[in-house]
Chains A and B, each alone.
Chain A
């Protein structure tokens, strides 16, 4: 561990990976999920968090497998429900930093309702959505973010569902931090993730990622590089000029605001309840 070449970064990454977990990962060579894993680890390292106080809760999918590899308190839940498990955990252990990792299917399809409600409650959770535009684990069926017209395992003639914009959904539902990046911009991704973890309240970071194995292969981007380059092509920085943005997805921070989180409100409920109880007791005795 101490003998690695890059003294600056390697020890930090290894420190957060499980030593007793067998590598390589379950992911295809070149899959973007590994890049997101590293970005999360570096964000946690940058924040100097104690591993004992970090929980990673994941859903079901290729992305959901991430939890097994990191040396935190890790919970691999059911498809779409990661945020609800995380809500229970956060309320039981408010001092923990809870990071939720989901696929686009987890977050927008089967778990869409949990996503908007967790946002509306402003639960203090950092939700990292790895958007690879498809259902990776089940081999490339169309997902709520599959671009219109794309070919998928269950859309051989092209998908006719209108895709969801994860960030806009998060913003409308009340998330207090919302950002989007792409696996090709690792430093940006890392920065957004660090901010999301650090910030109190419900934070959503969408990281667009490559599933070249399924989405790419069906849509003329069969290698990791081809799909990554395409992801670069279809996105622009939020700071770009209006004419450059036409028809493209923006990268950047869309929401960053301060609002009391659920736990803060709940503390107030407890205070009121206890005050009323005190009064009752007082009343009974007088």
Chain B
């Protein structure tokens, strides 16, 4: 039996994490504590930085040196990281950022569950940019999705945000940690061409150019300024457009790989729930109870929340009478669901923000499916 935070740390190590930098903050601190013990044993690096800005900067620096790198934080720290997360988006540097959410803006309530950072994870840093956000709902998923987060970050040269609920981070569940050879691990694609022919920001078949490590013969430039395919700052409209087009394409043309979700009894459903994290667990119990009473309720548990599975949700919306989006906020996930549903069915929210989780009974009641 391990905690969600421990599972995240274990998943990171299994994925090949070799550099962690962080600053303590509840409810994410156990991730740093576990890694401060584990990484040195493996000869890898753990460092506690002076704040979250430095932590984010350090993991980007380490990734440029060829390390799989991660940091973990909660709300206030996640806010501080945003500028450098944007740097990683602009310079396409793989890294993983875990945000174990707390309640409220500012210091809020560190020990209560909330799902208030979904929009921040998507849009927290300034400027238009693609990003990937994953969202586990169990301890096992915390392990699996951390591995996925590393794989996606390396494969698509992008920061990946892993959003966790406080309850998932702190609950204890059984996880069978797979043997290393049973895990699918993606390793960064490096250039094989001559240094003179290397374009660190050039185009490639899947939109993801190979990334050379610093110090290995490919001397190139990295900047947060908009840049050309060599990495040098540019003001040329065609070069800027090419950059935008490619970084969005590398995500949007690989949705089949990136979009992770689980359908539960959705085939014949007349009513559907779309949820993530801890709210998806209550939703699953609600589905079970409704089905036992002969009511056709189904659900989709989202594991990838950004990008969003618009097509899939759109299809469901065309078949069901209504959709409920239960979430621990005043309505964030529902905005994406409504967009995807395109008015084909009613989309309602069930919002709870008092530090408690949504119960299956509340879901059924809100949907009018309670006996």
Is the pair A270, B54 in contact by a Cβ cutoff of 8 Å? Answer: no
CB distance from B251 to the nearest CB of A (A): 23
Q: Complex Cα distance A273/B39, Å?
A: 9
Is the pair A78, B224 in contact by a Cβ cutoff of 8 Å? Answer: yes
Residue of B nearest to A271 (CB): B40
Annotate B44-73 by CB proximity to A: 1 below 8 A, 0 otherwise. 010101110111011111111111010000
CB distance from A269 to the nearest CB of B (A): 5
Tell me if B233 is interfacial: C-beta within 8 Å of chain A.
yes
The stretch among A86-94, A218-226, A229-237 that forms the contact with chain B is A86-94
Tell me if A168 is interfacial: C-beta within 8 Å of chain B.
no
Q: Which of B57, B87, B219 has most A Cβ within 10 Å?
A: B57
Tell me if B232 is interfacial: C-beta within 8 Å of chain A.
yes
A55-B214, A89-B61, A93-B213 given as contacts; is B40 within 8 A of A274 (CB)? Answer: yes
- B219 in complex: contacting residue of A52, A86, A95, A113, CB < 8 Å: A52
Is the pair A52, B215 in contact by a Cβ cutoff of 8 Å? Answer: yes
Is the pair B61, A92 in contact by a Cβ cutoff of 8 Å? Answer: yes
| A contact residues around B67 at 8 Å (CB) | 88, 92
Q: Complex Cα distance A183/B216, Å?
A: 33
| A contact residues around B53 at 8 Å (CB) | 81, 84, 114
| A contact residues around B220 at 8 Å (CB) | 73-74
Smallest CB-CB A-B distances: 3 pairs? A88-B61, A92-B65, A84-B57
A20-B230, A78-B83, A273-B40 given as contacts; is B62 within 8 A of A117 (CB)? Answer: no
The stretch among A64-72, A148-156, A209-217 that forms the contact with chain B is A64-72
| B contact residues around A73 at 8 Å (CB) | 214-215, 219-220
CB distance from B33 to the nearest CB of A (A): 14
- A57 in complex: contacting residue of B43, B54, B61, CB < 8 Å: B61
Annotate A140-158 by CB proximity to B: 1 below 8 A, 0 otherwise. 0000000000000000000
Tell me if B183 is interfacial: C-beta within 8 Å of chain A.
no
* Chain B interface mostly: mixed
Tell me if A27 is interfacial: C-beta within 8 Å of chain B.
no
Complex A-B: 11 CB contacts under 8 Å: A52-B217, A68-B223, A71-B219, A75-B61, A77-B224, A84-B54, A87-B21, A87-B58, A91-B58, A96-B215, A270-B40
Annotate A104-118 by CB proximity to B: 1 below 8 A, 0 otherwise. 000000000110010
| B contact residues around A72 at 8 Å (CB) | 219
Tell me if B84 is interfacial: C-beta within 8 Å of chain A.
yes
Tell me if A51 is interfacial: C-beta within 8 Å of chain B.
yes
Is the pair B41, A274 in contact by a Cβ cutoff of 8 Å? Answer: yes
Q: Complex Cα distance A87/B69, Å?
A: 13
Q: Complex Cα distance A90/B62, Å?
A: 7
Q: Complex Cα distance A117/B54, Å?
A: 10
List which A18-63 residues lie within 8 A (CB) of chain B: 18, 20-21, 51-53, 55, 57
| A contact residues around B83 at 8 Å (CB) | 78
| A contact residues around B321 at 8 Å (CB) | none
Tell me if A254 is interfacial: C-beta within 8 Å of chain B.
no
Is the pair A88, B223 in contact by a Cβ cutoff of 8 Å? Answer: no
Q: Complex Cα distance A77/B220, Å?
A: 14
Is the pair B40, A88 in contact by a Cβ cutoff of 8 Å? Answer: no
CB distance from A159 to the nearest CB of B (A): 26
Annotate A260-279 by CB proximity to B: 1 below 8 A, 0 otherwise. 00000010011011101100
Tell me if A85 is interfacial: C-beta within 8 Å of chain B.
yes
Q: Complex Cα distance A46/B217, Å?
A: 21
| A contact residues around B69 at 8 Å (CB) | 88, 92
Is the pair B65, A269 in contact by a Cβ cutoff of 8 Å? Answer: no
Tell me if B366 is interfacial: C-beta within 8 Å of chain A.
no
A81-B53, A270-B43 given as contacts; is B19 within 8 A of A88 (CB)? Answer: yes
